[in-house]
Structure 1
Amino acid sequence: MRLLNVNFIILFIATTLLITSCNTNDDDVYEPIVSMPLTINGELDAATNFYDNQGPHEHNFSGKRSSGFTEGYESGSKPRYATGNVTLSSSGNWTFSDALIGTLSRDRKFGRKSVRMRNTGYVVMSFNMDNGARTVRVRHAKYGNDGNSSWRLIASYDNGASWSFVGTTVNTASTTLNTVSFEVNETRSVRYGISKTSGGSNRINIDNLEIVTEGTGGGDGDGGNNGGSGRNSNIAFGNPSNANSSANNYFLSKPEFTLSYNNNNGTPNWVSWHLNSDWLGNRGRCNCFQQDRSLPSSFNRITENEYRGSGFHRGHICPSADRTVTAQENENTFFMTNMAPQAPRNNTRPWVGLERYLRTLVNNGNEIHIISGVSGTGGTGSNGFRTTLSNGRINVPDSFWKVALVLRNGSNDINRVTTSTRIIAINVPNDQNVSSDWRQYTTTVDAIESLTGYDLFENIPNDIEAVLEARLANRSFN
């Protein structure tokens, strides 16, 4: 009997240890580690600006070491605090110490993942920005109900052998991801990172660390106009539905656009993108509709053939013609996650008319932040009324809506919005009996928000937002 008890105790201890070791992202289990300290031996001045939530500022460029990037940590996996390396598809290799990639509901994040850091942990680039950087922007917030902490931006000029603090200390005291912008104006080869400096075991989240260079947004020499103000965030004015990891409000970010995917409907809820001349080149339409395999394998991954014979177009939300600098950028607009069943005359009459009009505004020195989506169920295509396609896998929407905020080319777009800023909003019925004139379908942002339940411009100050969203656009546009 005593032998049985001893064996039971040993089995219980072993099982407990196994469960604890497998519970790799449970914040209730404190994981002691031996950290690899950084050598920090200097201070560098940099103008440091603090902003309320400015969104992820999401963009990725193929020439990231010269053209800049935003790292959202969505492509990585690091479930433990122990020091280790992570390869991230948006930027490159990073070293984490006393830091992990968090996926819990208490992790503050724009998509599904963000960095979670504790003690004196750090997250640093293991690659250099070859031509330096102009600005480094970081989003930060407290994890869960933890107390306040502070951190510093750090830089290395000797491939990570030693580091220097940059700018001022940042105190993290909010549970909202806010933005800190460091004007580094660096021309040397450099790599950056975040080092937590106080707060002990209190944890902080870091998301969407953005490196902006003088060349950011200038394209890659493959046909871009290079006359804009740089490629800005595709979701600068907020996450309209607070999209996350839930199946019917699934956050999906690509270099060309950001969207919320609805798994039940097989369509996006909304798509958000930035448009200026740095996105426009001379690449033609690829016509290469494709399944989006970046969705989880358990999701409703619509294929390019499921619309055939339905009487509805595979209607782009973010237009192919808004992404024409490189072949890859144009191809990425053909993912089926960017499509919804659209009545042919809706697509080829008012919808394309507004798309073309917005590009004429770009050619006249403007940049535009666009959010567009679908609403309701039931539309009339060339073969009559339908509520679904492909045996119920795809919902046919009742209407297509679009909102465009227009600014002259410039920087710090959120801060440049005033009560006189131009906003165009339309909501077009999804049927064949529509006018060719998109101006006939103008409405207010308030009306679209009431229809959808979204907050389309949450990052604009409330007093300005209230005026803009209630204003009906003038229908006598030139």
Structure 2
Amino acid sequence: MKLFSPFKNLIYLLSLSLLLSCNDDEIIIQENENTISEPLKISGSIMVNTKFYDNQGPHEHNYTSRRVTGFTEGFESKSKFFYNTTTIDLNQSGNWSFSDGKIGTSSRDRKFGTRAARLRETGYILMAFNMENGVKTIRIRHAKYGNDNNSSWQLVASYDNGDSWITVGETVNTTSTTLNTVSFEVNEDRSVRYGVSKISGSSNRINIDNFEIVTDANGGGNNGNDNAGRDSNLTFGNPSNANTTDPNNYFLFKPEFTLSYNNENGTPNWVSWHLNADWLGSRGRCNCFQQDNSLPSNFKRIGDNEYRSSGFHRGHICPSADRTVTGQENANTFFMTNMAPQAPRNNTRPWVGLERHLRSLVNNGNEIHIIAGIIGTGGSGSRGYRENLSNGRINVPGSFWKVALILPNGTDDINRVTTNTQIIAVNIPNNQNVSSNWRQYLTSVDTIENLTGYDFFENIPDTIENIIESNISSRSSI
């Protein structure tokens, strides 16, 4: 039967709509698209200190001036369905050039969030803008796509606005389906742009995610005042290997903190944050508790009134007082994903006492990497014992724990940790009978790891980690 032209157009539009609405797994035609390009032309190389970390979570900062103070590009802001060579504007950072590269959204893409860059053949992704004040450190997450075989890639740099490129640091071999971190200590003070160039593996594909640029202004230098700058909130690793597929170990990051959310419990499992003088200012407490709508729509999004008349406080894990430079930073600590039901006397006595002690250490020239969370079920608030709130939507924990690694202000924090580095670890019962002295609840990191099943400092060499995690701080020394 012969179709009239309007029907042909309708069928074409319906087919196009179906193609665009399919998820990435279903658009097989994109994988076979004939857009393979020539490899990037490389004219030299620079050797720099390159460090490899396993299972390290994404790094993030609160940047305001992107091309001066750095950024973390997570490839979340735009779509790129095809492998063709083009330049696109990614809102988080700027324009990037892709060749034999796309932005993948498939379940087979290894990613933090919903998207990651994906490269095949000898493809590349390149910054199409310069870092005018240089770069201190570059951190990149990488993994194999799907069930593909191994591939290799290199960091590349250009000092002439992209006209020519050279390799930087060691060749990186991508052999894992887990996003791992490679860190390049470039210490560059010239105007420069960077990118990733895949150099082997043929049609085997790799994912690149959370391409992080750190400058002296945002996490590497001393800012002229002997502070360490704003470091990642997850420098020492992802304690539970939180991800975006497990609803009870769901990875969620904000500029102010990083966390693992437990959808069944309606609370975080843990929250991780960095603390130094660059996070502390004069803004007051906003007291603006708010539902966190960044969670998937099918998750429990706990409302700010679901603790009402329960006898428990909406207990901050990352404290409001640790984020006081801007009103927005303080407000973001009031997301309900940063809260758990806390006995009032736990919150206002030992818990706040430890928070104040850590800030006093910051005022004395230290920076601190903190991870805190909850464990168990059942606590006693001002109205007695409860195991859950809001008709079972929120689990009441049995205790609140915290571990804090303390360093003098500086840079390259992972490599500055020694067997003498101070760690404070506490586990405080969630009830009204707790002591006001948080030192009564000192314990070891090993004990909290045994309770939770987490690995808090996986990026520290084992010979050092094993010693500092087994120690219990003396009450008289802190």
With structure 2 as the length reference, what TM-score do the two structures score?
A: 0.87
2:261/2:337 contact within 8 Å kept: yes
1:225/1:281 contact within 8 Å kept: no
Write the letter of the residue equivalent to 2:210: N
2:85/2:100 contact within 8 Å kept: yes
Q: Which residue of 1 aligns with 2:465?
A: 465
1:89 is displaced (CA, Å) by 4.8
Q: Which residue of 2 aligns with 1:97?
A: 99
Stretch moving more, 342-351 or 466-475? 466-475
Q: Superposed, which structure 2 residues align to 1:81-230 within 5 Å?
A: 81-83=83-85, 88-104=90-106, 106-110=108-112, 113-156=115-158, 160=162, 162-168=163-169, 170-175=171-176, 177-188=180-191, 190-217=192-219, 227-230=226-229
Unaligned 5+ runs, structure 1: 1-10
SS at match of 2:475: coil
2:157/2:168 contact within 8 Å kept: no
Deviation per CA, 1:288-339: give whole Å up to 9, x if none.
1111111111211112222222221111101111111122111111111111
1:141/1:178 contact within 8 Å kept: no
1:143 is displaced (CA, Å) by 3.3
1:67/1:217 contact within 8 Å kept: no
1:95 is displaced (CA, Å) by 3.5
Deviation per CA, 1:132-165: give whole Å up to 9, x if none.
32332323333344333332323345655x2412
Stretch moving more, 65-74 or 334-343? 65-74
SS at match of 1:242: coil
Q: Provide the rounded CA distance (Å) in 2 between the counterparts of 1:214 and 1:33.
A: 42
Unaligned 5+ runs, structure 2: 1-10
Q: Which residue of 1 aligns with 2:34?
A: 33
Q: Provide the rounded CA distance (Å) in 2 between the counterparts of 1:76 and 1:372.
A: 34
With structure 1 as the length reference, what TM-score do the two structures score?
A: 0.87
Q: Which residue of 1 aligns with 2:6?
A: none
Q: Provide the rounded CA distance (Å) in 1 between the counterparts of 2:403 and 2:173.
A: 34
Q: Which residue of 2 aligns with 1:238?
A: 237
Write the letter of the residue equivalent to 2:237: G
1:317/1:373 contact within 8 Å kept: yes
Q: Which residue of 1 aligns with 2:381?
A: 381
Identity of aligned residues (%): 63
Structure 1 residues 86, 356: closer, same or farther in 2, change over 3 A? farther
Q: Which residue of 2 aligns with 1:6?
A: none
1:33/1:98 contact within 8 Å kept: no
Q: Provide the rounded CA distance (Å) in 2 between the counterparts of 1:398 and 1:118.
A: 49
Q: Provide the rounded CA distance (Å) in 2 between the counterparts of 1:166 and 1:135.
A: 15
Taking only aligned residues, the RMSD between alpha carbons, in angstroms, comes to 3.0
Deviation per CA, 1:381-436: give whole Å up to 9, x if none.
11222222222221111111101111112222111222221111111111111111
Deviation per CA, 1:77-102: give whole Å up to 9, x if none.
44543445555454344343322334
Structure 1 residues 225, 132: closer, same or farther in 2, change over 3 A? closer
Q: Which residue of 2 aligns with 1:433?
A: 433
Q: Provide the rounded CA distance (Å) in 1 between the counterparts of 2:144 and 2:423.
A: 34
Structure 1 residues 412, 225: closer, same or farther in 2, change over 3 A? closer
SS at match of 1:476: helix
Q: Provide the rounded CA distance (Å) in 1 between the counterparts of 2:391 and 2:315.
A: 19
Deviation per CA, 1:146-186: give whole Å up to 9, x if none.
333332323345655x2412424513143151313041513
1:259 is displaced (CA, Å) by 0.4
Count of equivalent residues: 460
Structure 1 residues 165, 121: closer, same or farther in 2, change over 3 A? same
2:367/2:406 contact within 8 Å kept: yes
Q: Provide the rounded CA distance (Å) in 2 between the counterparts of 1:86 and 1:383.
A: 57
SS at match of 2:247: coil
